[in-house]
Chains A and B, each alone.
Chain A
C-alpha cells in the first residue's frame, strides 16, 4: 500500500463548479499536511498547509481528519486557471532531531473547461 494515496483523476469540470479532492495516508505518525499545486512541466508549489481545525484561503478549503487519516481540498467557483495537478503531501518525522521526510501522493489532475 502506498504511504499517500490520491485519485489520479482527471477531474473535468466546468468553470464555476465546486470540486473536492481526497487523499489518504497510512502513517499515523504523520506530523503535518499540505496541498501542493503543479502546473504542466513546472515545479510543485505550496498551495496551502492543512490544519487540524480546517483552514480556508479564498476559494480553497483544506480539511484534515486524523482519525480516518485523510485530508481533503475543496475548490469553489473553479476558474480556468485552476487547471493543474494537485498533490497532497504528508510530513513524517524521522528522528527526535526534528528531521522530516515529505511524502507526496501521485497527484490529482484537474481540468476546468469554459
Chain B
C-alpha cells in the first residue's frame, strides 16, 4: 500500500508571498493532520481534516488554512509568508478521527522563506 505523499518536497518563497502544499493520504485513510516542525521545536499541530471538515485546529494565526477534498487529499495554504514560517511541514494520515489513532507521516515539504 502506498504511503503518504506530499508535494512539493522543497519550496523557496519570499516574504509576503503565499504557498500551497499538497498531501495525499494512505488509501482508505480519511483523516489528514498537518504539523509544522522548526529547528529546536517538536512537531506543532496545525489542523486536522476528516470528511472535508476541519475537526481540530492548533494555535496558529489565520494565515494558515487548509482544506480537504472528497478523495481525502488535503491542501494547506499559508498567506503573507513571514521568515518564521520557514519549516518542515508534515502531513499525517489516520484511519479514524474523533479519537487518537496511529498517524502515518509523509516525507514533508521543506519551505524556505527569504
A and B interact: no
